[in-house]
Homo-oligomer: A and B are copies of this chain.
Amino acid sequence: MTRLVSYDEAPPEVRAVFDDIKALRGVADVNNFWKALAVHPPTLARTWDSLKQVMAPGALDPLVKEMLYLAASAAAGCTYCVASHTAAAKARGMTPEMHGELLAVLGMAAETNRLAEALRVPVDPGFE
């Protein structure tokens, strides 16, 4: 079994990260991903710090960022990440119809990615 570090047993530097996640997200507890990552406190702190920066609103709105995260995670075949970012995207407003269209894009990308690789298609000069 993967070891999951709970708040109660966590050392102070882990609790500080957990507290920051809970405050920013307004949740009562952190997800298993963070509890698992807490086995290496420096990686926990650095990963959370990076994620907070990357997912902050910017030129792309938070829902689009979440859907991009989901698309990348699904393309990489990460089961946990698909589950967590599907939930997160729904929480940010992804409707069933939007989810269906995201799935359709994912599937077509997978198909054409593989065809392009299997045919070793040369990059068009016009793309540059």
Contact = CB atoms under 8 A, between A and B. Distances in A.
Tell me the dominant secondary structure on chain A's binding face.
Answer: helix
Interface string A15-50: 000000000000000011100110110110011001
Nearest to A56: B101
A127 B69 contact: no
A70 to B, nearest CB: 8
Which has the most chain B C-beta neighbours within 10 Å: A103, A118, A127? A118
Contacts of A116: 33, 36, 78, 80-81
Given A54-B104, A77-B77, A83-B120, 14 more contacts: A1-B128, A2-B119, A33-B119, A47-B111, A59-B95, A69-B108, A72-B74, A72-B114, A74-B117, A79-B120, A80-B116, A80-B117, A86-B127, A110-B111
16 contacts: A39-B96, A39-B100, A40-B97, A40-B104, A42-B53, A46-B54, A59-B97, A60-B102, A60-B105, A67-B68, A72-B110, A76-B109, A77-B117, A79-B117, A80-B123, A84-B127
Interface of A: 1-2, 4, 31-33, 36-37, 39-40, 42-43, 46-47, 50-51, 53-55, 58-60, 64-65, 67-69, 71-84, 86-87, 95-124, 126-128
